[in-house]
Chains A and B, each alone.
Chain A
């Protein structure tokens, strides 16, 4: 079978960590710097970074419509941390929204500043019984969800992982751990699509 090619939006942030993860799953990872490169990939990861920086660069370089169009045509998308914020339909406290593709309301820096950043074990039944090391860095959480959204993991009652159709989001950073189960789960999503 031909290897799937997963693009990682490469405007700013933790790009190479996602590519390492994808490659550790035996799949191809490609950094994406220009919108036309989106047509060569089977799925897209929007990495962690600064959501305002990535969002502004997406606008400036014309990514918005192409990503929305490909997503509507069924391209799977996975957003981590800033990626979750960029995908959300609503952002708490009136912050502007970006792609608005996922029916969730997100609170930015919800767990606090860097001093409050933390790691903890998460239960994620979809990827197996063993706990997953959740790395939360100035992380957002999902405040509320629409009817098509499925919660996949919570931490202290806050939604930190969810999916809606072919969109997957985590408030934490699996790419900073050695555990590729969530990336494998995303690759399975791609194979089914």
Chain B
């Protein structure tokens, strides 16, 4: 008997992406640059987060035509973003045949209470989280891969660090609890009890966890890997920099050799200016993307 869309198949693709870099692209040409640089997958979207942040208005799923062009151009997996709760955009992406759907806070949410029931799909989903409770709620809805949110489109890694450290600290805390304290922990973190028990026992998230949101340099990528990320997303960081080809390659090498400062030093040389960054404190609180998602 042949079974498709099982939990093992969905989580399995994420396992294969580990140690790699997934790059945001807005057209086939950028997708090719990402593939040549050694990206393990590309994320198709209409505008990179820095441009979404600048443009304001409503950000939606990318044009299916562009997504198809990207799928026809590269042989690596193609991911694409849908708005939080917009299960019809997800149905469209599944029909197109994208390899992973990102239910993403970077786009304007379509539902302010509910996320998509991801068990209804054969194609796997990735979601963002800022803490362990949020990650386990998404996994409880069927997400097969997670990413820490960071603050997309800022070129500032501080929020990515905060979210990764928070999740790791909360996992350590759970591990130290007695069994009879886990229900109270589930209540505190607002997460499904069964998943809380699983994490307390295994000491790790049940799915692969990448880092995203604000990674702009090879050293940023290495920092997130050393903090415990399974891989990294680079959104605006590549195609908003002066020399995307060189920066993309350097980021891939820095992610593979994240523990080797000599490699990080070598690949960081002469790759042109990074994207312009934003101080998080200068952004109004209601403009912060990381608070989208429930």
Residues of A within 8 A of B (CB): 10-17, 33, 48-50, 52-53, 56-57, 60, 81-82, 95, 108-109, 113-121, 135, 137-138, 173, 176
Asked if A137 and B253 sit within 8 Å, CB to CB, the answer is no
* Other-chain residue from B5, B16, B35, B77 in contact with A48 (beta carbon distance below 8 A): B16
Q: Is the CB of A57 within 8 A of B256?
A: yes
Set of chain B residues within 8 Å of A95, measured between Cβ atoms: 75
Contacts of B15 in A (CB 8 A): 13-14, 17, 48, 176
Beta-carbon contact of B252 and A82 below 8 Å: no
- Which of B16, B20, B38, B75 has the most chain A CB atoms inside 10 A of its CB? B16
A53 x B1 contact (CB < 8 A):
no
- Shortest CB-to-CB span from A103 to chain B, Å, is 23
Complex Cα spacing A49 to B252, Å: 14
- B4 neighbours in A (Cβ, 8 Å): 115-118
Interface residue B116 (Cβ < 8 Å from any Cβ of A): no
Residues in A neighbouring B253, C-beta threshold 8 A: 57, 60
B13-A12 in contact (CB<8A):
no
A49-B20 CB under 8 A given contacts A114-B123, A118-B2, A120-B3: yes
Q: Which 5 A-B pairs have the closest CB atoms?
A: A114-B99, A12-B19, A50-B40, A14-B15, A56-B38
B290 CB, min distance to chain A CBs, angstroms: 27
Quick one: which of B1, B13, B19, B256 contacts A138, CB cutoff 8 A? B13
- From A16, A81, A137, give the contact of B9 (CB < 8 A): A137
- 17 extra interface residue pairs, beta carbon distance < 8 Å, beyond A12-B40, A13-B20: A13-B16, A48-B15, A50-B20, A57-B253, A113-B98, A114-B13, A114-B77, A114-B98, A114-B99, A114-B123, A118-B3, A120-B1, A121-B1, A135-B9, A135-B12, A138-B99, A173-B12
Cross-chain contact of B75 among A52, A116, A120 (Cβ < 8 A)? A52
Alpha-carbon distance between A95 and B35 when the two chains are bound, in angstroms = 14
* CB within 8 Å for A53 and B20 given contacts A114-B123, A116-B4, A118-B3: yes
Question: Are B94 and A115 neighbours in the complex by a CB distance under 8 Å?
Answer: yes
Alpha-carbon distance between A50 and B123 when the two chains are bound, in angstroms: 18
Q: Is B61 an interface residue (CB 8 A)?
A: no
* Complex Cα spacing A14 to B17, Å: 8
Closest to A113 in B: B97
B18 sits at the interface (CB 8 A) = yes
Is B100 an interface residue, CB under 8 A from the partner?
yes
For the complex, give the distance between the alpha carbons of A52 and B35 in Å: 8
**Is B6 engaged at the interface, CB distance under 8 Å to the other chain?**
yes
Q: Identify whether the interface residues of B are mostly helix, strand, loop, or mixed.
A: loop
User: A82 to B123, Cβ gap below 8 A?
Assistant: no
Interface residues of B (CB under 8 A from A): 1-6, 8-9, 12-13, 15-20, 35, 38-41, 75-77, 94, 97-100, 122-124, 252-253, 256-257, 260
Can you give 25 A-B contacts (C-beta < 8 A)?
Answer: A11-B256, A13-B17, A14-B16, A14-B18, A16-B18, A33-B256, A33-B260, A49-B16, A52-B35, A52-B38, A53-B20, A53-B76, A56-B252, A60-B253, A113-B77, A114-B98, A115-B99, A118-B2, A118-B4, A118-B9, A119-B2, A138-B77, A173-B12, A176-B8, A176-B15
User: How far is it, in angstroms, between the C-alpha of A82 and the C-alpha of B20 when the chains are bound?
Assistant: 14
Q: Give the distance in Å from the alpha carbon of A113 to the alpha carbon of B4 in the complex.
A: 12
A68 to B41, alpha carbons, bound, how many Å?
A: 28
Nearest-neighbor residue (CB-CB) of A156 within chain B: B2
Q: Give bound CA distance, A53 to B253, whole Å.
A: 10
Report if A119-B19 is in contact (Cβ < 8 Å); known contacts: A53-B38, A114-B77. Answer: no
Whether the Cβ atoms of B3 and A52 lie closer than 8 Å is: no
**Residues of chain B with a CB closer than 8 A to A52's CB:** 35, 38, 75-76
Please report the C-alpha to C-alpha distance between residue A48 and residue B39 in the assembled complex, in whole angstroms.
15
Q: Which residues of B contact A115 (CB under 8 A)?
A: 4-5, 94, 97, 99, 122-123
Considering the chains assembled together, what is the distance between the CA atoms of A17 and B15 in angstroms?
9
Q: How far is the CA of A119 from the CA of B43 in the complex (A)?
A: 26
Chain B residues within an 8 Å CB radius of A12: 18-20, 40, 256
Chain A proximity of B38: nearest CB distance (Å) = 5
